C-alpha cells in the first residue's frame, strides 16, 4: 500500500486545508504517520514541507493565523513604488522568508524522513547552449536519483514554489508551481512511479491518494463569442488557468485511480469570494474548513469512512 496526501495552492486559504486536515487527523490518528508521499503547491507546499519536517497541524495553523498580516502586508509606499501593482509585485518575500527560516532553520530535503514533492516553474534553465536555453516546470523532491533536490533547503524550496506572479517577486529564477500544477495530485502520482524509488514501484492498484483543496470561488465569464484582447483577459486569466490546472489533475486522478482516489475541495457560497491574500478573513476561513463536509467531490462519499475502509 502506498499512500499519497496532496495540498492545493491558495495563499492564506491554506487555513481551509489545515482545518480540514485537523478534523481528519482527529478521526484518523495515523493519517499523517502512515503517509508515504506529501505533495503541495504554493501554500500547500509550505504545509507539505512543514508536516514532513515534523510540525503539527496546530503549529502550522497558528503560523498562518499569527503571520498572515506580515506576509500579505501591502503599504501605501509599496503602492506608490510599483504604481498600484502595475509595475511590480504586490508583496515582498522578506517577511515570508524570515518566517520560513524560523520554521525550518537550515533543514534540507534530504533530512526529511518523508518523501515530498513541491512543483515550481523555472523561468530560465541556464543552458550554456543558447539554442537550447528555455523555461521549464520544476518538481522539487527528495527521491533518490541524479535529479534529486536533497541538498536544497526547505526555505528555498518553499519560496521557489510560492512566488506567485503579481503577488510576489520571483525567487531566483523560480515562480509559483500553481502555473503548472495548482493541484499537485497528478504530479505526485507520476513521481510515485519513478523506477528509481527504493523498493518495488507501487502498482496503481496499491496507491491511495487523498487530495485536499483550499476552498474554491465560484467563477464564470458572462457572455458568448467574446472579442477580448489582453486588457480584458489579463484580470481573469490567472485564476482561470489555476482553476483549470486543478480540474485537469482531479479529472485524471479520478479516472486513473478510480476508487483509490478521494478529493475534498469545498466551494465557498456563491455570494462569498475570498482572495488568496485576504489574511483578515483568517477566522472565516477556519470556520469554513470546520463546517465543510468531509466528502469526496465526485461521489459524495464520507472520506473518513473511506480512509478507515482502505486501512490508511
Catalytic residue among 8, 42, 120, 250: 42
> CA 178, 277, 14, 42: dihedral to nearest 10 degrees?
30
Q: 136-141 and 174-176 as β-strands: parallel, antiparallel, unpaired?
A: unpaired
Contact assessment for residue 289 and residue 15, using Cβ atoms and an 8 Å cutoff? yes
All residues at 6 or more sequence positions from 132 whose CB lies less than 8 Å from its CB, including other chains: none
Contact assessment for residue 173 and residue 136, using Cβ atoms and an 8 Å cutoff? no
The grid coordinates of residue 201 equal 514501484
CB-based burial of residue 198 (10 Å sphere; 0-12 exposed, 13-18 middle, 19+ buried)? exposed
> CA 174, 175, 180, 182: dihedral to nearest 10 degrees?
130
SS3 286: helix
| Angstrom distance (rounded) from CA 8 to CA 184 | 7
Whether residue 36 lies in the annotated active site: no
| Angstrom distance (rounded) from CA 163 to CA 143 | 23
| Angstrom distance (rounded) from CA 154 to CA 159 | 8
CA distances from 193 to 37, 149, 204 (A): 12, 17, 9
Catalytic residue among 8, 90, 156, 176: 176
SS3 199: coil
> Which among 52, 46, 57 has a CA at the least distance from the CA of 4?
52
Contact assessment for residue 263 and residue 24, using Cβ atoms and an 8 Å cutoff? no
Query: Phi and psi at residue 121, in whole multiples of 5°?
Result: -140, 125
Whether residue 42 lies in the annotated active site: yes
Task: Write out the H or E segment, with its range, that includes residue 104.
Answer: helix 94-104
Known catalytic residues are: 42, 176
Amino acid at each position: 500500500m502506498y499512500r499519497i496526501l496532496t495540498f492545493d495552492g491558495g495563499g492564506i486559504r491554506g487555513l481551509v486545508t489545515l482545518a480540514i486536515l485537523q478534523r481528519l487527523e482527529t478521526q484518523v490518528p495515523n493519517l499523517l504517520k502512515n503517509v508515504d508521499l506529501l505533495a503541495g503547491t504554493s501554500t500547500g507546499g509550505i504545509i507539505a514541507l512543514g508536516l514532513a519536517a515534523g510540525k503539527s497541524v496546530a503549529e502550522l495553523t497558528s503560523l498562518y493565523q499569527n503571520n498572515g498580516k506580515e506576509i500579505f502586508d501591502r503599504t501605501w509606499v509599496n503602492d506608490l513604488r510599483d504604481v498600484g501593482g502595475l509595475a511590480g509585485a504586490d508583496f515582498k518575500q522578506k517577511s515570508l522568508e524570515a518566517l520560513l527560516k524560523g520554521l525550518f532553520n537550515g533543514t534540507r530535503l534530504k533530512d526529511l524522513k518523508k518523501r515530498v514533492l513541491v512543483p515550481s516553474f523555472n523561468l530560465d534553465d541556464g543552458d550554456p547552449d543558447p539554442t537550447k536555453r528555455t523555461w521549464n516546470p520544476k518538481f522539487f523532491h527528495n527521491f533518490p536519483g541524479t535529479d534529486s533536490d536533497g541538498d536544497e533547503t526547505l526555505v528555498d524550496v518553499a519560496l521557489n514554489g510560492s512566488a506567485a506572479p503579481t503577488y510576489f517577486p520571483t525567487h531566483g529564477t523560480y515562480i509559483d508551481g500553481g502555473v503548472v500544477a495548482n493541484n499537485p495530485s497528478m504530479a505526485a502520482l507520476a513521481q510515485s512511479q519513478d523506477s528509481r524509488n527504493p523498493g518495488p514501484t507501487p502498482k496503481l492498484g496499491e496507491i491511495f491518494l487523498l487530495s485536499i483543496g483550499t476552498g474554491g470561488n465560484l467563477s464564470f465569464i458572462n457572455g458568448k463569442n467574446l472579442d477580448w484582447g489582453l486588457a480584458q483577459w489579463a484580470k481573469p486569466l490567472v485564476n482561470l488557468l489555476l482553476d483549470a490546472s486543478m480540474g485537469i489533475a482531479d479529472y485524471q486522478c479520478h479516472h486513473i485511480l478510480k476508487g483509490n482516489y478521494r478529493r475534498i475541495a469545498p466551494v465557498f457560497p456563491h455570494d462569498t469570494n475570498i482572495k488568496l491574500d485576504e489574511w483578515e478573513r483568517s477566522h472565516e476561513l477556519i470556520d469554513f474548513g470546520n463546517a465543510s463536509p468531509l466528502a469526496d467531490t465526485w461521489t459524495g462519499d464520507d472520506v473518513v469512512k473511506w480512509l478507515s475502509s482502505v486501512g490508511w
